[in-house]
Structure 1
């Protein structure tokens, strides 16, 4: 490991410890449920960014656990990417790091507020800076809005890619069972395009 790689590894370890110990949202009165959930190291070429951990992610301390992970890795497997390899070698994080609890309607998790997103944003920015991924996959509207104008609907976004700061951004829809978007046939065709784009970058970054 080079000195630069060692420095990145050390800085990322310190950042991850800070995320695990963070209580900023609780100090502001938000009812959240630590610990912060993320995985990966500083040599990743791909980074997924979700909305926030769900309850199963919080309990397992593993991003995209259970149903949302099954669907996400079903998509990635069609791009030639194996789940075990991805989880151990690539980076997975989210816009906010802790489980936000259930929504007031009782159906689905609460969407983190703008203030919570702002409190967590320095962590995400630092993760991106240190990991320096070549491809970012934002999953769901909250993550997609980091890169695409909020006025655009998902049908105008899924199946496209953007180059941002020398990195490629390839969005996917929310993979949770609560979402019905990915169950519509014409939307599935857009997801197919995203999968093809991810596959192209995977083959370039990890040639067989």
Structure 2
């Protein structure tokens, strides 16, 4: 699987007609695969697309909560677009989800998460990020199983928000879901990354992509 370096949308050319989860395939508008810098050092990982992201086809775009993520990306120097952009101009960061399809009435099942694991695992192998930002408890717990030495139930994203957790091969910087964040929690996350992550040789190296 080769990355299309100049493509931000689905740069790994993953299956956009995937039907591994029939209940999702029958109700989705489109599959929302990853978006961003295929050589980025940072990955922002959410649970599943919002209604806005399903409409735009781009992770973390299309509604007010997603605009908070885009604002954070801008504050950290990862995006050169306004927060409301549907196709943000990002660098050194990749945006993706545990599950790529949205059900309008429920969260993804454990089986649906497992069905999407090959997509996420392939992205992480290809990108080889230094930092993963798990957004929400479910994402943090899923990563804990394979990538940390801690028990999944020991994590609480509200307690771990804006801290650094040691993982296997990379570090995790957990984030409270944007719809549940206060402005103070947003500021704390940005400050932590600027003061404690960028200061340790992660300062905007732009990955392998230059635009």
Scaled by the length of structure 2, the TM-score of the pair is 0.73
Aligned partner (choices 142, 146, 158) of residue 146 of structure 1: 142
Structure 1: state its 5+ residue gaps.
1-6, 104-109
Backbone CA RMSD of aligned residues: 3.1
Match of 2:166 in 1: 163
**What is the deviation of 1:51?**
1.0
**CA distance 1:58–1:157, change in 2 (3 Å):** same
Match of 1:68 in 2: 65
**2:3 paired with 1:9:** yes
Match of 1:194 in 2: 189
User: Quick check: 193-202 or 67-76, which moved more?
Assistant: 193-202
Q: C-alpha separation between the residues in 1 aligned to 2:112 and 2:176?
A: 22
**2:176 paired with 1:173:** yes
**CA distance 1:47–1:61, change in 2 (3 Å):** same
Q: C-alpha separation between the residues in 2 aligned to 1:152 and 1:14?
A: 30
Q: C-alpha separation between the residues in 2 aligned to 1:197 and 1:36?
A: 29
Q: What do the CA deviations read for 1:135-167 (whole angstroms, capped 9, x no partner)?
A: 111112221212342343333211221222221
Match of 1:183 in 2: 182
**How does 1:42-81 map onto structure 2 within 5 Å?**
42-65=38-61, 66-81=63-78
**What is the deviation of 1:19?**
3.1
Q: C-alpha separation between the residues in 1 aligned to 2:138 and 2:124?
A: 17
In terms of fraction of residues, the more helix-rich structure is 1
